[in-house]
A = this chain, B = another copy of it.
């Protein structure tokens, strides 16, 4: 083991990368946990804020800043808000897969998980006319069989694991042929922990200031830029689409854009590049087997 991993090679002229990603969960993430949340008008409205008000505001910001982003859209959100999804596509952003109903994948067998993946693919394909190339597990919860399921379905990348700072090639099975790119995430780069609160549903009860999130995420971008890393931020339009949080996000985008040689791109572009430089794959195994 060398102390200095081989430096990740970004495209010519770039020394690091940043991607702004949005998980457009809307009502799905509440309904999947507990169908009875459908009875709670205030909670449902709080969630519908995302596609109705948050996404348009975020699209305006992204256009103003000249940034292309990735939107992870559960199939249910796509089926419910098709015009919203079309407006994202029209602005040139990427639509990627995020389950059908933001299902909690933990403990699901492969067949059940496969049927959810397929249902989400159908919804997105019906709406956008193309297969999604990217996947992010709801709640970022991958099963050991998930990478194989994704590779089988032609996904080119996943962005759900928390095990590195740069993209790598994920080989579901060391003896199999298929692989995909993993672009890791980080709980410190998710707006849910900073902002989410709804009594009886989610949140610690603490709501952080957008200025705290801006300061923290800006430091993270700077630190990753200094190490030729990859900064992947996850925002939820029902949270970060609200006025002060969106304001802070726009300031963050400006700060990130000023980092010299920072490549701001949707995840599909980062994955396409990673495919060219990540020549060998990593196979993860469930603990119990020696795995390094």
Contacts and interface: CB of A to CB of B under 8 A. Distances in A.
Given A27-B287, A161-B45, A203-B205, A243 B227 contact: yes
Interface stretch (A127-135, A140-148, A260-268): A140-148
A81 B287 contact: no
Nearest to A245: B188
A245 to B, nearest CB: 8
Contact of A3 (B56, B210, B287): B56
Given A1-B86, A38-B288, A229 B243 contact: yes
Contacts of A106: 39-40, 200
Interface in A233-292: 242-248, 284, 286-288, 290-292
A160 B41 CA distance: 10
Contacts of A137: 42
A118 interface: no
Given A137-B42, A209-B216, A211-B215, A80 B291 contact: yes
A57 to B, nearest CB: 8
